[in-house]
């Protein structure tokens, strides 16, 4: 028996995997071979040290730590089964308190967003600074967006009265003390949308790596949008557009020089503007931040180069990165498909209702728009 | 060891049972994460993510597999996929022939390795070797249980474990020589 074969026996002995006969063979070899005997001593020392490694425990209960997220998952699961009305009558208390926390947070984030926008717009020539800011603001936009989404659901739950939803929104929360005008009005507008019809805002600027609670919440929202009006959900600009018109109708957009006026022309125009201008950071100074909070987020999202669309069944998430569209599993975050790189601006990510295909538009520097379709199952991508 | 009744209750939609079950396994989940990612904060993140995944996927667990290997599969996958670091690990093959080296027996002092050195050495192992060692020594898994958890053939598990131990032995030996005797 060679020393290398004995090594195998030694190893197996450490795991209690030797029978009597093998043990005997090993022992008799070790008696005659000091090198192997030495090695065996070392290995068994190592093995016992490994067995004695500290049995570490988490410093605090992990289950307690994830409880809010688990409740969130439950809420999300219940949603498709329950109609909106019963849910209003029986709000989940714990879920609600969670929302309220994020409602307060959304105000803070929106304030940061406003500050970020002003920094951006007042230093248009200072590129390095501007790009730094844009990153920060882009991230903030993602979070703010999903928190506003939370707001909309929270108010959805809270609202018993259907009539003047915006007033409800503006008056029923103690947490609004933290909110800036922008956040309140932005949230108010959003809640009005939610209450009145399907939410029209496609959360384009979503924090990509964000907290999965927020993300899953937003996903749910998108799912609903897609189910009721695939058109609206897909067109990234329609949210801003409808949002703005709604805001103006409701008298919410009270500041006169309105960005929304420029963006509100047509859906396509709006989306092209956003996607084209964003990388150049040359977007129009939004004086009326309140009514335009969503449009601004989209512009910022363009800078941050994060566009995302979740499939109607929430299983897939399409993200625009580096001039191509990637599809991830929302469960495992596994990359399922990565599309080819496109020369131009990618926009209008749109899932089919059957979750099988994702379409998107690419606008090149000459303004020509091509449409591409990704088949998720086959992992193919074709120009149409 | 989690009671089968508790698992079945959790699978049938008893949320309290599911939470109880998560509480029972959280330390095991954390421990594996801790020794694979070798960092408390990442271990907390990975373990929480694993628990959430277990929470959402409990329906997909089938009794033909052991529950504990199913759980460990989830946590090791998360640790390996999400917390993969770019830092270099030693190539395990370089040391394959270590055994052939002439060991200097007479002035060798077999002193106790300190736990920190061992953790550092484990951290230098390639991911799957590290996972095998962690499951073997921190979860007290058999070869078969490790194979189930990591979805590896039995022989691969053995070879990873054996090589990992040889590797650790060499690394710790080097530490000792460098640290204790200068």
Q: Can you give the CATH number for the domain in which B35 is found?
A: 1.10.1740.10
pLDDT in the model for residue A329: 84
Tell me whether residue B87 is in a domain.
no
In a domain, A66, yes or no: no
* Whether residue A294 is found in the same domain as residue A145: yes
Same domain, A127 and A250: yes
Residue A114 resides in a domain: yes
Domain end among A289, A305, A321: A305
User: Per the structure, how many domains does chain A have?
Assistant: 3
**Residue A360 in 3-state DSSP?**
strand
B129-154 average pLDDT score: 96
Asked if B76 and B51 sit in the same domain, the reply is yes
The DSSP result for B142-172, as a single string, is -HHHHHHHHT--HHHHHHHHHHHHHHHHHHH
Q: Which of the residues A9, A37, A38, A46 would you substitute to probe the B interface, choosing the one with the greatest number of B C-beta atoms within 10 Å?
A: A46
What pLDDT score does A13 carry? 95
Q: What CATH number does the domain containing A382 carry?
A: 2.40.10
DSSP bridge pairs for A380: A375
B143: which chain A residues are within 8 Å (Cβ-Cβ)?
A: 15, 17
Does one domain contain both A295 and A321? no
Query: What span, in angstroms and rounded, lies between the C-alpha atoms of A221 and A234?
Result: 13
Distance CA A130, CA B66 (A): 55
pLDDT over threshold 70, residue A206: no
CA distance B51 to B32: 13
Q: Say whether both A27 and A168 belong to one domain.
A: no
* pLDDT of res. B89: 61
Is there a contact between B136 and A15 if contact means CB atoms under 8 Å apart? yes
Residue A119 contacts residue A275 (beta carbons within 8 Å): no
Q: Is B105 an interface residue toward A (CB < 8 Å)?
A: yes
Tell me if A56 is assigned to some domain. Answer: no
Based on the fold, state whether residues A124 and A273 are members of the same structural domain: yes
Are B40 and B98 in a shared domain?
no
Structural domain boundaries enclosing A237: 96-305
The tens digit of pLDDT for each residue in A216-274 reads 444 444 434 433 444 444 444 444 444 444 444 444 444 444 444 344 444 444 444 44
The closest CB to that of B48, out of A45, A52, A66, belongs to A66
Which of A100, A59, A64, A9 has the alpha carbon at shortest distance from B23?
A64
- Residue that is last in its domain, among B17, B50, B82: B82
A30 is a domain residue = yes
Give the range of the structural domain holding residue B116, as residue numbers without chain letter. 92-179
Lowest mean pLDDT among A4-18, A138-152, B125-139: A138-152
Predicted pLDDT at A82: 53
Assigned domain for A234 exists: yes
Whether residue B131 sits in one domain with residue B59: no
Instruction: Indicate if B69 and B108 belong to the same structural domain.
Output: no
- Is there a single domain that holds both residue B96 and residue B24? no
Q: Which of B62, B82, B102 is the last residue of a domain?
A: B82
- A47/B165 touch (CB, cutoff 8 Å), yes or no: yes
Same domain, yes or no, for A333 and A184?
A: no
- Structural domains counted in chain B: 2
Between strands A316-321 and A307-310, the pairing is: antiparallel
Kindly state whether residue A376 falls inside one of the protein's structural domains.
Answer: yes
pLDDT at residue number A98: 53
Looking at the fold, whether A273 and A129 belong to one and the same domain comes out as yes
Whether residue A186 is contained in a domain is answered as yes
- A58, A64, A76: best mutation site toward chain B, by most B Cβ within 10 Å? A58
Residues A129 and A237 in one domain: yes
**Residue predicted with more confidence, B173 or A200:** B173
Are residues B99 and A7, on separate chains, in Cβ contact within 8 Å?
yes
Angle at A116 between CA A343 and CA A139, to 5 degrees: 55
- pLDDT band per the 50, 70, 90 thresholds, residue A26: very high
HSE at residue A26, side-chain half, CA atoms within 13 A, is 21
Which of A53, A63, A66 minimises the CB distance to B115? A53
- Residue B97 sits in the same domain as residue B65: no
Give a yes or no: residue A356 inside a domain. Answer: yes
Residues B63 and B97 placed together within one structural domain of the fold:
no
Mean of pLDDT over chain A: 63
Greater pLDDT, B177 or A291: B177
Same-domain status, A206 and A249: yes
Q: Of B27, B60, B82, which marks where a domain is finished? A: B82
Please tell me the predicted confidence (pLDDT) of residue A333.
Answer: 77
Distance CA A95, CA A98 (A): 5
- B111 and B156 co-located in one domain: yes
Are A381 and A264 within one domain? no
């Amino acid at each position: 028996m060679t020393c290398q074969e004995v090594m195998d026996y030694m190893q197996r002995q450490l795991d209690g995997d030797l029978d009597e006969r093998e043990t005997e063979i090993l022992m008799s070899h070790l008696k005659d071979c000091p090198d192997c005997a030495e090695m065996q001593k070392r290995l068994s020392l190592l093995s016992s040290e490994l067995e004695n490694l500290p049995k570490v425990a988490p410093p605090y209960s992990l289950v307690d730590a994830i409880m809010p997220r688990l409740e969130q998952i439950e809420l999300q699961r219940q949603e498709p089964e329950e109609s909106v009305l019963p849910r209003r009558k029986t709000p989940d208390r714990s879920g609600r308190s969670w929302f309220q926390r994020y409602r307060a947070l959304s105000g803070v984030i929106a304030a940061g967003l406003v500050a970020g926008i002003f920094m951006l717009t007042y230093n248009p020539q200072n590129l390095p600074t501007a790009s730094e800011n844009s990153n920060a603001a882009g991230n903030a936009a993602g979070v703010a967006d999903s928190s506003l989404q939370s707001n909309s659901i929270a108010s959805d739950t809270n609202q018993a009265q259907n009539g003047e939803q915006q007033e409800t929104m503006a008056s029923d929360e103690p947490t609004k003390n933290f909110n800036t005008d922008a956040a309140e009005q932005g949230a108010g507008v959003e809640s009005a949308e939610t209450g009145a019809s399907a939410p029209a805002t496609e959360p384009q600027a979503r924090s990509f790596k964000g907290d999965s609670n927020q993300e899953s919440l937003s996903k749910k929202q998108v799912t609903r949008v897609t189910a009721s009006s695939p058109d609206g959900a897909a067109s990234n600009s329609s949210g801003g557009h409808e949002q703005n018109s709604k805001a103006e109708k409701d008298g919410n957009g009270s500041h006169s020089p309105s960005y929304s006026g420029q963006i509100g022309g047509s859906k396509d125009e709006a989306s092209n503007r956003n996607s084209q201008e964003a990388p150049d950071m040359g977007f129009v100074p939004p004086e009326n931040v309140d009514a335009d909070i969503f449009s601004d987020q989209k512009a910022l999202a363009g800078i941050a180069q994060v566009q995302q669309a979740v499939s109607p069944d929430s299983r897939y998430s399409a993200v625009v990165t580096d001039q191509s569209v990637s599809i991830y599993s929302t469960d495992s975050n596994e990359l399922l498909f990565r599309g080819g790189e496109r020369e131009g601006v990618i926009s209008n990510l749109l899932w089919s209702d059957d979750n099988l295909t994702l379409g998107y538009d690419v606008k090149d520097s000459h303004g020509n728009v091509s449409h591409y379709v990704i088949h998720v199952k086959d992992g193919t991508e074709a120009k149409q | 060891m989690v009671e089968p009744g508790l698992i079945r209750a959790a699978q049938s939609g008893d949320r309290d049972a599911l939470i109880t079950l998560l509480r029972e396994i959280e330390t095991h989940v954390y421990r594996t994460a801790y020794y694979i990612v070798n960092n408390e904060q990442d271990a907390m993140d990975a373990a929480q993510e694993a628990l959430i995944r277990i929470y959402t996927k409990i329906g997909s667990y089938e009794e033909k597999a052991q529950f504990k290997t199913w759980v460990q599969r989830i946590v090791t996958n998360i640790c390996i996929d999400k917390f993969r670091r770019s830092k270099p690990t030693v190539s395990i093959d370089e040391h394959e022939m270590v055994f052939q080296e002439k060991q200097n027996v007479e002035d060798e002092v077999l002193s106790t390795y300190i736990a920190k050195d061992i953790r550092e050495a484990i951290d230098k192992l390639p991911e799957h070797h590290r996972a095998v060692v962690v499951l073997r020594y921190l979860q007290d898994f058999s070869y078969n249980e490790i194979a189930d958890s990591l979805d590896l053939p039995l022989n691969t598990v053995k070879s990873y474990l054996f090589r990992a131990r040889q590797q650790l032995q060499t690394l710790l030996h080097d530490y000792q020589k460098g640290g204790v005797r200068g």
